[in-house]
A and B are shown apart, each in its own frame.
Chain A
Amino acid sequence: MKGVRHYPGFLGIAVACLVVLYAPLVVVTIYSFNDSPSITTWGGFSWRWYADVFTGPEAERFGAAAWNSVTIAVLAATASTAIAVAAALAMIRGGRFRGKSATYALINLPLLVPEIVTAVATLIFFSAIGLTTGYLTILIAHITFCIPFAYLPIAARLSGIEEVYEQAARDLYATRAQAFRLVLLPLLMPGVISGYLLAFIISLDDFIITNFVKGAGMETLPTAIFGSVKQGIKPNIMAISTLMLAVSVLFVSLSYLVNRIGQKTRA
């Protein structure tokens, strides 16, 4: 008997949970270093598929797709974070106003509607207004569905910052703009960075909506990978996957660090 917190077998399940989550990723990472062009047999350790990613026959296609993915993610994350900061200030600091809960629902709408439905609706909309699908339509769609992801950490952080800090700044002769820039914004920063990183990753991650609104000839990394995988999983895909995996891990670590630092300045 170890007290009421202990349940036999829960440790085993927790470990199994981690194994399930990581086994596929670990296996793909290992096989991305497989020298053999066959994906079934192990032919020794090699970097050749990584070289293939950057110089092989598909390098140009994946390079262009990666460029699209990254630039769209940067732009979408920047725009959605800016919109989310403004919205959070209004929602958290703006007091009560008519239509507040409707606004809250609207901001979170992209989270409530299934992705495939958003994809269909967005495609129909762009087709109805006659906007040719391509880079711009992907970007607009990404900005839109990234807003709630950026909003959540920013709003959470902001509601933890008491108004008294801004009041103290105002009391000490700061103008409204100075109080925002010198006191509120630095305190809000961990939330802004978390929101930005989350929006960035969500944009980079998106397949379904992008696939609907990308138009012919336009590819992002996920749609390019999907196209290749349809023909079977090849070793170079595993190398790309491992690289993207590394980027993701880097981002989580960053966001984790930002939160740690943020907790220290929490008053």
Chain B
Amino acid sequence: MAGAPLPPPAGGTGWKGLTIPLLIPAWAVVGIFMLLPVLLMVVYSFLTKEFRGGVVWDFTLAAYDQFFLNRGLFGDEPPVIEWTYISIFWRSIWQAALATLACLLVGFPTAWFIATRPAAQRTVWLFLITIPYWVNLLIRTVSLKFLIRENGPLNDSLMSLGLITDPLPLVNTNLAVQLGLFYSYLPFMVLPVYAAVERYNFALSEAAADLYAGRWTILREIVLPVVRPGIVAGCILVFVPSLGAFLAPDLLGGAKTYMIGSLIDEQFRGSQGNWPFGAAVSVVLMTMVLLVLLWQARAAARGARG
């Protein structure tokens, strides 16, 4: 067979020829049951609602019109901006932002503290921080509600300590929702920040100290800029799920703390629902989240190049 053209043997480990067959299951499942539904949802947001829940296949901008514009009770007045839903979004963003800030203020020092422990202690701390992440979110939220409710253990102990005379009305307030979001997503802040601090070269701090910088100046001028990618990642991991959160506002909040999650949920419950409107609200939420992620991806790419 000398001189005859021979089929080339598979180079390396021979996986290259199998790339496509190996990816087909993932493409099929995520493509059909995730990507396609999301696209269909966008289509639904342009359809007409049916009164029993569901849709009629007539294309219209009604859902977005309802979201952004107010045309009066009978729909015949000149359109003005409809604030109801925008303010729900605004409240959600605000709540999520406050929860993110709280997570950062607690999460950064915690992550720093853990990263500066000896290796054996570090593992234990990380283990302790990870456990709540693995505990059912519903159960954690219910537990928090149990703890902070009007005649719950927190108020009881504060009163028996004589710190307060009347129970703090925590449940059904904005504060309770923020606390719930903070509690739900705190591990999401600690873990990426920890990963960044662990890679931080402490010689940088020593160099700064050697050049007469004080402790807090070092933190501000050296540490924070260097571990920024970890902080940004943590903030996004907290902010994004907080924005669309359903359990914390639903269980811990009340009518005044209504957030996007509940607004969407309501559109798909029973005959009161409005599927196109619910789809439209979801599209707006998804767009906001994707913009945030895109911004982070670009910032990360810039950071990697710089």
User: Distance in Å from the Cβ of A102 to the closest Cβ of chain B?
Assistant: 10
Quick check: is A25 within 8 A (CB to CB) of the other chain? yes
Please give me the residue from chain A that is nearest to B247 by CB atom.
A207
Interface string of A69-103 (1 = CB under 8 A from B): 00000000000001110110111011101000001
Nearest residue, chain A, Cβ from B213? A4
Interface size on A, residues (CB 8 A): 89
CB pair B113 A140 closer than 8 Å: no
Assess whether A94 is in contact with B19, with CB atoms less than 8 Å apart.
Answer: yes
A93 near B15 with CB under 8 A, answer: yes
Verify if B268 is at the interface (C-beta below 8 Å from A).
yes
Q: Give the interface size bracket for B toward A.
A: 35 or more
Does B175 interact with chain A (Cβ within 8 Å)? no
Near A by CB (< 8 A), chain B positions 53-107 give 54, 106-107
In the complex, the answer to whether A128 meets B144 with C-beta atoms within 8 Å is: no
A110 and B34 contact, CB distance less than 8 A = yes
Q: Are A39 and B146 in contact (CB under 8 A)?
A: yes
Does B137 sit at the interface, judged by CB under 8 A?
yes
Query: Considering the chains assembled together, what is the distance between the CA atoms of A113 and B182 in angstroms?
Result: 20
- B265 in the interface (beta carbon within 8 A): yes
Does A27 touch B at the CB level, under 8 Å? yes
Q: Are B240 and A117 in contact (CB under 8 A)?
A: no
Residues of B within 8 A of A (CB): 10, 12-16, 18-20, 22-23, 25-27, 29-31, 33-38, 40-41, 44, 54, 106-107, 109-110, 112-114, 116, 125, 127-132, 134-140, 142-147, 149, 151-153, 156, 182-183, 186-187, 190, 202, 205-206, 208-209, 215, 218-219, 240-241, 243-244, 246-247, 251, 260-261, 264-265, 268, 275, 278-279, 282, 285-286, 289-290, 293
Besides the known contacts A23-B147, A39-B146, 4 further A-B residue pairs in the complex with CB atoms under 8 A apart: A18-B129, A83-B29, A84-B26, A124-B41
